[in-house]
Amino acid sequence: MGLLSDPYRRRALSRLILRLNTPLCILCYVAGLGWFLGLAFHPFTLRTYMSENAMGSTMVEEQFAYGERALSYAREFAGHKKKAGGIPVAWLEKTMWNLGLEVYKQPFSRTLPFPDEARERYMVKGTNMYGILRAPRAASTESLVLSVPCSEGQQNNQAVGLMLALASYFRGQIYWAKDIIFLVNEHDLIGMEAWLEAYHDVNVTEVHSSEMLGRAGAIQAAVSLELSSDVVTSFDVAVEGLNGQLPNLDLVNLFYAFCQKNGLLCTIQGKLQRTDWDTLPAYVHSLQTLLLMVLKQGSGRPQGDHGLFLRYHVEAITVRGINSFRQYKYDMSTVGKTLEGMFRKLNNLLERLHQSYFFYLLPSLSRFVSIGVYMPAFGFLILILVLKALDLWMKLSKCDMGPEERLCDGNQGASHTATEESRPGLLTLVPPLLICHATGLVLYFLPVLGQHVATQHFPVSESEAVVLTVIAIYVAGLALPHNTHRVLMGSGSDRGWMTLKLLSLLYLAMQLGCIALINFSLGFLLAVTMVPVAAIVQPVGPKYVYAVLLVLVTPAATLLLSIFLYQELIEYPVSLLECWQLFLQAVAEGLLDHYLYGSIVFPFVAIFVYPCWLLLWNVLASKGNWKRHSLGARPSLRGGASAEPSLWGEELPAAAAFSPAASGGSGRVDGIEACRRPGPSTPRLLPRGRGLDLGLLHAKAFEGVSVAAPCELAVGID
């Protein structure tokens, strides 16, 4: 308490923080990046383990032997699908009914906010087919889901065949304690969203569907199956869900355990884990896998149908069968055994999966990084904003100290008046805040609402109109602070832009901190780019350099860089033109994900991050006169002249008079400590201790004699 109550100790602490602020910020940024890069290092990760006691994989003996039946179902489904031009509703209904399932269908429709040119659709209509296997040993209070997306063309036909074969096998078993739902959803994520909303009797995305006629119990877990061939060489597990949500780690561990038991190769992010973990190539491999997960999670897009289950607190994963050029291949019987073992273990659960982690990163399937290990990397970056905000707050409070603490303590009445005049009111900060956030709201609402007007006046499609409107509003926002700053902020002052920057830094820290709790990857990607530039930007110094840096760390530039990095990590590099095309496609998909599935990435960037970035751009466009230390009232000189401390090197008035001591050593000039030193030409005010050292480099300095020669003033505040 003495450190806070004693003004001298408090002032010493503030001087220490001000002096070490920049080195501490650099150290924090290096520590944050270093910590994140170290997450892929094998000794810093933990080995995955099963937390649920009821899910030991060795307690199950898999007996699935319906591999040939699965292939037969797949061929029949492909033929009827080609004939119907879509999902063969009648054939699926008949087949599921013959297997002894309760069969239901769910028609749905959805009009997109603008055409999806990537999939060439606008009015989406489809039908979901699902059959329910009632548990003979329970009262239908809980259920499991095996879903298969019905894709266009010949893709995923094998998955439908395997699902029907599993339903046939499961129907003959008597140990089921949970209902099992076999779902075939049309139009991938849109169909899955329609089914989930109808099953839980909610409507969050304005999809239109018929009433759900048949329900099972509360869904405990789900597996989405995708197969590209009759045989597979490996399985890839997708875990990233909507808005960066992840399933319980035990579900991932369960599938990996059964893959190991049945000899299946299992990958994550398309990469096999290496055994030589203590080598540099193994570290680089793990780092690439980790970065791919961060980029996918940061996008907020569900990487499979499982991603929509997570919103309803249903643990789910997507399993993709890959047929590559690897030597070992596995048939449908082996794949069916793996899925059968998973469902039998999930059938033994007495409660929802909750004992393992929900927040983690996976450098491999056998190692994971928990939230307690990766969060410090983000914390170091946020600490930079806090340190810079503290630095600005201390500088702003210099002139608010008492008379005994004031450095500019010459004429207290005059300095108090000057301080009050230079202190901006809080109302002056309201216009830039309102304008920046109004621009963000325009960026959020106008592209979709104004697409029809744009297509009438410009030769573009609706999708192109939306994307180009987003880019136009985004770029037009750069001109707002420059054009409105003088009108709204007057002539500008150092305290004005410093107060605005202090508010911007705290606002940015709050935003990044909140989003990192939901989606760590998104928060970290924004922090690693925006934080260093936000800390150094100011309206003085190399403004053009600051402007270029600030433009390079916009959310749009971060997205462009992420796309380029992602293509490099998947070993499919692209040119600048191709990267730009992917950028435009990503913007369109980001808007569609928000309106179709409820992704929060686009509204978060448009309404919060972009206005905060505009505030920093407003700081750069401010009229700043401050260099080094410039706060405090103007020290007055005899004869009514005043010294302006906000300019380093400003000339004193010609009539300014001063009074050195009779000994020629030192004296005071209305609160400014003077010292006589021999030398040619110019008097300067240089920092020395708590006072201001006036070096008289000109001879003839007597009390009452004016100095007519021009001189320069430099003020330093400790």
CATH number where 328 lies:
3.40.630
Bigger pLDDT: 7 or 471? Answer: 471
In the structure encoding, which two tokens stand for residue 695, read together? 């070096």
The span from the CA of 320 to the CA of 329, in Å, is 14
| 223: enclosing H helix or E strand | strand 218-227
Q: Specify if 601 maps to a domain.
A: yes
Which of 581, 600, 620 represents a domain boundary (last residue)? Answer: 620
Beta bridge partners of 324: none
Strand 218-227 versus strand 208-209 pairing type: unpaired
Bigger pLDDT: 51 or 1? Answer: 51
The span from the CA of 455 to the CA of 464, in Å, is 9
Q: Are residues 100 and 228 in the same domain?
A: yes
Please tell me the total count of domains within the chain. 2
Q: Specify if 173 maps to a domain.
A: yes
Q: Are residues 452 and 344 in the same domain?
A: no
Q: Are residues 65 and 33 in the same domain?
A: no
Beta bridge partners of 688: 691
| 266: enclosing H helix or E strand | strand 266-268
Q: Return the pLDDT at 55.
A: 74
The parent domain of residue 68 ranges over 53-294+323-365
| 93: enclosing H helix or E strand | helix 89-98
Q: Return the pLDDT at 652.
A: 39
Q: Are residues 459 and 354 in the same domain?
A: no
User: What is the rounded average pLDDT of the residues 412-430?
Assistant: 56
> Does pLDDT of 252 surpass 50?
yes
| 160: enclosing H helix or E strand | helix 157-171
Angle (CA) 347-223-523 rounded to 5° is: 120
Q: Specify if 528 maps to a domain.
A: yes
Indicate the DSSP class of residue 330: B
Residues 6+ apart with CB under 8 A from 149: 156, 184, 185, 188, 191, 192, 224, 226, 305
Q: Are residues 349 and 439 in the same domain?
A: no
The span from the CA of 436 to the CA of 477, in Å, is 8
> pLDDT category, 205, cuts 50, 70, 90?
confident
**Exposed e or buried b per residue across 457-473, where buried means at least 16 C-beta atoms within 10 angstroms of its C-beta:** eeeeebbbbbbbbbeeb
Q: Are residues 550 and 430 in the same domain?
A: yes
Total residue length of the chain? 718
Q: Specify if 44 maps to a domain.
A: no
The span from the CA of 81 to the CA of 89, in Å, is 9
Q: Are residues 351 and 456 in the same domain?
A: no
**Exposed e or buried b per residue across 510-525, where buried means at least 16 C-beta atoms within 10 angstroms of its C-beta:** ebbeebbeebbbbbbb
User: Do the beta carbons of residue 623 and residue 500 sit within 8 Å?
Assistant: no
Angle (CA) 560-297-467 rounded to 5° is: 40
Residues 6+ apart with CB under 8 A from 56: 50, 345
The span from the CA of 88 to the CA of 70, in Å, is 17
Q: Are residues 382 and 339 in the same domain?
A: no
The span from the CA of 474 to the CA of 478, in Å, is 7
In the structure encoding, which two tokens stand for residue 56, read together? 């030991």
In the structure encoding, which two tokens stand for residue 518, read together? 């939901």
Q: Are residues 29 and 57 in the same domain?
A: no
Average pLDDT over the chain, rounded to whole?
81
User: Do the beta carbons of residue 336 and residue 166 sit within 8 Å?
Assistant: yes
User: What is the rounded average pLDDT of the residues 333-344?
Assistant: 92
Bigger pLDDT: 55 or 576? Answer: 576
In the structure encoding, which two tokens stand for residue 65, read together? 């032997």
Highest mean pLDDT among 128-142, 148-162, 179-193 belongs to: 179-193
Three-state SS for 244?
helix
Residues 6+ apart with CB under 8 A from 122: 111, 112, 114, 115, 116
The backbone torsions φ and ψ at residue 701, rounded to the nearest 5 degrees and listed phi first, read -125, 100
User: What is the rounded average pLDDT of the residues 493-498?
Assistant: 79
| DSSP, residue by residue, 15-80 | HHHHHHHHHHHHHHHHHHHHHHHHTTSGGGSEE-----GGG-GGG-------HHHHHHHHHHHHHH
> Of 3-12, 453-462, 676-685, where does mean pLDDT reach its minimum?
676-685
Which of 573, 597, 620 represents a domain boundary (last residue)? Answer: 620
Indicate the DSSP class of residue 665: S
The whole-angstrom distance between residue 477's C-alpha and the CA centroid of its chain comes to 22
Q: Return the pLDDT at 143.
A: 95
> Does pLDDT of 458 surpass 90?
no
Neighbours of 326 (CB within 10 A): 12
Bigger pLDDT: 492 or 475? Answer: 475
Q: Specify if 316 maps to a domain.
A: no
In the structure encoding, which two tokens stand for residue 558, read together? 């971060």
Q: What single-letter amino acid sits at 587? A: V
User: What is the rounded average pLDDT of the residues 438-462?
Assistant: 85
Beta bridge partners of 685: 694
User: Do the beta carbons of residue 635 and residue 643 sit within 8 Å?
Assistant: yes
Q: Return the pLDDT at 320.
A: 93
Beta bridge partners of 492: none
Q: Return the pLDDT at 4.
A: 55
The span from the CA of 621 to the CA of 538, in Å, is 9
| DSSP, residue by residue, 448-486 | HHTHHHHHHHSS--HHHHHHHHHHHHHHHTTHHHHHHHH
Judged on CB neighbours under 10 Å (0-12, 13-18, 19+), 679 is: exposed
| DSSP, residue by residue, 544-560 | HHHHHHHHHTSHHHHHH
Indicate the DSSP class of residue 628: S
Q: Specify if 209 maps to a domain.
A: yes
In the structure encoding, which two tokens stand for residue 255, read together? 């599938």
Q: Are residues 379 and 494 in the same domain?
A: yes
List the one residue out of 69, 235, 80, 66 whose CA is nearest residue 154: 80
> Of 264-268, 400-404, 520-524, where does mean pLDDT reach its minimum?
400-404
Neighbours of 589 (CB within 10 A): 18
Q: Return the pLDDT at 361.
A: 96
Q: Return the pLDDT at 414.
A: 44
Neighbours of 35 (CB within 10 A): 19
Q: Specify if 330 maps to a domain.
A: yes
Which of 620, 647, 663 represents a domain boundary (last residue)? Answer: 620
Q: Are residues 361 and 379 in the same domain?
A: no
The backbone torsions φ and ψ at residue 713, rounded to the nearest 5 degrees and listed phi first, read -115, 130
Three-state SS for 218?
strand
List the one residue out of 289, 218, 306, 210 whose CA is nearest residue 255: 306
The span from the CA of 390 to the CA of 16, in Å, is 12
> Does pLDDT of 241 surpass 90?
yes
> Of 142-146, 304-308, 470-474, 527-531, where does mean pLDDT reach its minimum?
470-474
Structure confidence by residue, pLDDT tens digits, 148-173: 998 777 788 999 999 999 999 999 98
Strand 142-150 versus strand 179-186 pairing type: parallel
Q: Specify if 676 maps to a domain.
A: no
User: What is the rounded average pLDDT of the residues 566-572?
Assistant: 91
Q: Are residues 105 and 29 in the same domain?
A: no
